[in-house]
Structure 1
């Protein structure tokens, strides 16, 4: 569980640089939603990088049309893909949500198996980009909800999300999200500090769970990820021995 904490006044630039570096390798990148992620995608679109060999997957999606402002796929489309010249655009593996969350999760799981070439192991992402929610959720996996503990499925329906927008969702599960070669967790804003500090302390102590409910899911991620970079604008976050740095 190597956790590298990068503290920077401009986490958007750091994550955009890391995405650009991964894009040069081609392959699959798992993307996320949220305001900070939108800024990352716009910054990446302004960089001189060719994404044509990249396949973008979604960590989670809301069951709304792609044109809806709440759609994560629509966010990636507007903030990144449409801003690129056609010859440099990546392929977006959008979630087909028209038939509801349960059907969408089943279809997305089949697409993951096809991409992997096996129903036994999830596809390997060159990079997984995640964003920490203010309640400690990651993708559309919410603390203390059964979907956050799902170990057998690769994609799950989240019919009752713990935070707005209160629409059904589809989310990749932790076994898929944590199977990436490299995982970036973006945590921006003071409201994330408590969850981060509790989770980092629990992970450093080898505890199975953080005592703070909002930090429990993040703590499991920190313990289970093969390699994770936490990129944050919160000064002082990180424990000795966890490889923290400032930029």
Structure 2
């Protein structure tokens, strides 16, 4: 088993989304050749949606038996079901609604109008994760975790100088007073993400360059949360040229 961290640079956002989508399709096909199901964690944001749209628009996506794929999310905004700000709605519109997916294979976080409190919603998602626990863990060992990275280096809803990135005793946390609206959210915790086989971080834009550079230079995870993220087998930063501005040349991979 290898554990690698690589930076793959693309000329622009469009090329970035297309490349990640193609790699995703290929990897899911490879995984389904050797295992019964695949568990994927999705992310929100403009690049998260762009990648899923590129998957939908690729003719190759029809070669996947999507009924064997489970979809989860790394975090969610505490807003009503169907709200345009919810990551799950964005993912459904970009890709999931076009696939032949068993309903039980789509695992959205509870919504603010679900009748649950924020804390109870965190517990409910933890219980859903536990239904698919693997390797003695109370959650799946995710095959691919997609993450975006904020200009401040946050991933999921784990923010700098907040306690969320330090939580290790539970798989899901309730987030309050988020520095990024809305103030209330739900998020997977770092141990769940780091237990995954592959973490694919997709980021674009000059405003991400500093966070990426700091993470690769060994910054503290409390200062730059993305610095504390690493998959079991592989961690790949898929970036555009602008986001790579502060990445040392020696860290840029020439191939996957």
Instruction: Using structure 1 for the length normalisation, give the TM-score.
Output: 0.86
**1:74 equivalent in alignment to 2:89:** yes
**1:5 equivalent in alignment to 2:7:** yes
**1:188 equivalent in alignment to 2:196:** no
Q: Which of 12, 18, 21 lines up with 2:23 in the alignment?
A: 18
**1:242 equivalent in alignment to 2:247:** no
- Deviation (angstroms), 1:46: 1.5
**1:101 equivalent in alignment to 2:112:** no
Give the 3 Å change call, closer, same or farther, for CA 11–88 of structure 1 in structure 2: farther
Partner of 1:201: 217
- Deviation (angstroms), 1:83: 2.9
Q: Secondary structure at the match of 1:93?
A: coil
Give the 3 Å change call, closer, same or farther, for CA 88–20 of structure 1 in structure 2: farther
Equivalent pairs, count: 236
- Partners of 1:142 and 1:161 lie apart in 2 by 8
Aligned-residue CA RMSD (Å): 2.5
Partner of 2:185: 169
Partner of 1:149: 166
Give the 3 Å change call, closer, same or farther, for CA 210–125 of structure 1 in structure 2: closer
Give the 3 Å change call, closer, same or farther, for CA 123–101 of structure 1 in structure 2: same
Partner of 1:34: 45
Q: Which of 206, 217, 232 lines up with 2:239 in the alignment?
A: 232
Larger deviation, residues 89-98 vs 33-42:
89-98
- Partners of 2:126 and 2:101 lie apart in 1 by 29
In 2, are the aligned partners of 1:124 and 1:179 still within 8 Å (CA)?
yes
Q: Secondary structure at the match of 1:116?
A: coil
Partner of 2:69: 54
**Where in structure 2 are the equivalents of 1:106-145 lying within 5 Å?**
106-116=123-133, 120-145=137-162
Give the 3 Å change call, closer, same or farther, for CA 89–45 of structure 1 in structure 2: farther
- Partners of 1:90 and 1:236 lie apart in 2 by 42
Q: Secondary structure at the match of 1:129?
A: strand
- Partners of 1:17 and 1:53 lie apart in 2 by 19
- Deviation (angstroms), 1:177: 1.0
- Deviation (angstroms), 1:122: 3.0
Q: Can you list the C-alpha shifts for 1:186-235, whole angstroms capped at 9, x where unaligned?
A: 11110000111111112xxxx6x279x3xx2122225x765200010034
In 1, are the aligned partners of 2:9 and 2:252 still within 8 Å (CA)?
no
In 1, are the aligned partners of 2:8 and 2:236 still within 8 Å (CA)?
yes
